[in-house]
C-alpha cells in the first residue's frame, strides 16, 4: 500500500520539504511491521536501509563479548539506520525491536538517489545525522563524567512519557538489564538505585510502569554534573 505524504509529515525530517520531495519520499518508503525481538541489522553488517519508526520501540546497541552498551531507544517519530551511509563503513551497532510496532523503510540505493536528486531532503538528512552525533557525544560525556543515579535519571527522562490516571507514567519498556546496559553498570546497581528513587519520592515502581512523583527533582538530578 502506498504511503501518504501526511504519514511522512509525521517525522521530523519532513519539515521544510517541498511537496515534490514529500511525494518522492512517500513513493519510495515501504511500510513494514516488526515483532518484539526482531533484529533489523547487526553490528558489522553493511548499511541496508533508513527506518522511520511509527509505533513501537527499537534499541540500538554495541556489543563486545558479553558486554552490551545501549546507545539509544527510538520510538514514534524516531529514525535509525543511516549513520554510515556516506562513510561506506559497516553498521556501528545492532538495531533490535523491544516491542512490536511499525515503521517506514527506505532502502540504501533508493535513499541515496533521493538525497542526490532532492537538495532540500539532503539538508534535512544532514540535520538528522548531526542530531545522532550529538546524541552519541552526550552519551560518552554522561558515561565519563556522571554517576549512576544521574545517568539513570537521564535515561528515564529520555523514555516515552504517558499521562495516566496515576499521573505521568514511563512504561517499563526497558528491563532492568536494559537499563543497566544503557547506564553502563550492573543490573543490581540499577535495582538499588530505582529503589532509592522510590524511597526519596521521585518515582513509584509499578509492575508495568514507573509513576513520576516529582518531575522537577528528577530533571535536576539528570542535569547534575559530578
77 and 96 inside one domain:
yes
150 and 39 inside one domain:
no
pLDDT per position as a tens digit, 176-226: 999 999 999 999 999 999 999 999 999 999 999 999 999 999 999 998 875
Domain end (from 143, 160, 182): 143
19 and 120 inside one domain:
yes
Domain end (from 83, 113, 143): 143
Quickly state the pLDDT bin for 15 (edges 50, 70, 90): low
111 and 188 inside one domain:
no
129 and 28 inside one domain:
yes
Grid cell listed for 214: 516529582
Q: At what angle do helices 187-199 and 148-158 cross, to 10 degrees?
A: 80
Residue 84 pLDDT greater than 90, yes or no:
no
In this prediction the pTM is: 0.88
Q: CATH no. for residue 55?
A: 2.60.120.10
The SS3 call for residue 160 is coil
Q: Is the dihedral of CA 129, 71, 60, 209 positive or negative?
A: negative
120 and 48 inside one domain:
yes
Q: CATH no. for residue 194?
A: 1.10.10.10
| Domain interval for residue 47 | 5-143
31 and 76 inside one domain:
yes
Q: How many CA atoms lie within 13 A of 160 on its CB side?
A: 17
Number of domains in the chain: 2
108 and 162 inside one domain:
no
Amino acid at each position: 500500500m502506498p504511503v501518504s505524504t501526511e504519514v511522512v509529515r509525521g517525522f521530523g525530517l519532513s519539515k521544510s520539504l517541498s511537496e515534490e520531495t514529500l511525494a518522492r519520499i512517500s513513493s519510495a518508503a515501504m511500510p513494514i511491521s516488526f515483532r518484539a525481538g526482531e533484529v533489523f541489522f547487526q553490528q558489522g553488517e553493511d548499511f541496508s536501509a533508513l527506518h522511520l519508526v511509527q509505533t513501537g520501540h527499537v534499541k540500538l546497541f554495541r556489543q563486545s563479548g558479553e558486554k552490551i552498551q545501549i546507545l539509544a531507544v527510538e520510538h514514534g517519530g524516531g529514525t535509525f539506520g543511516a549513520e554510515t551511509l556516506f562513510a561506506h563503513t559497516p553498521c556501528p551497532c545492532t538495531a533490535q525491536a523491544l516491542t512490536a510496532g511499525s515503521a517506514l523503510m527506505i532502502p540504501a540505493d533508493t535513499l541515496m538517489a533521493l538525497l542526490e536528486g532532492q537538495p532540500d531532503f539532503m539538508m534535512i538528512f544532514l540535520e538528522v545525522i548531526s542530531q545522532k552525533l550529538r546524541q552519541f557525544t552526550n552519551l560518552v560525556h554522561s558515561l565519563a563524567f556522571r554517576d549512576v543515579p544521574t545517568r539513570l535519571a537521564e535515561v528515564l527522562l529520555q523514555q516515552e512519557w504517558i499521562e495516566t490516571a496515576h499521573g505521568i507514567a514511563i512504561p517499563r519498556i526497558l528491563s532492568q538489564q536494559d537499563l543497566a546496559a544503557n547506564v553502563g553498570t550492573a543490573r543490581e546497581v540499577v535495582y538499588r538505585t530505582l529503589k532509592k528513587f522510590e524511597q526519596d519520592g521521585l518515582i513509584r515502581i509499578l509492575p508495568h510502569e514507573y509513576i513520576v512523583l516529582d518531575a522537577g527533582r528528577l530533571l535536576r538530578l539528570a542535569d547534575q554534573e559530578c
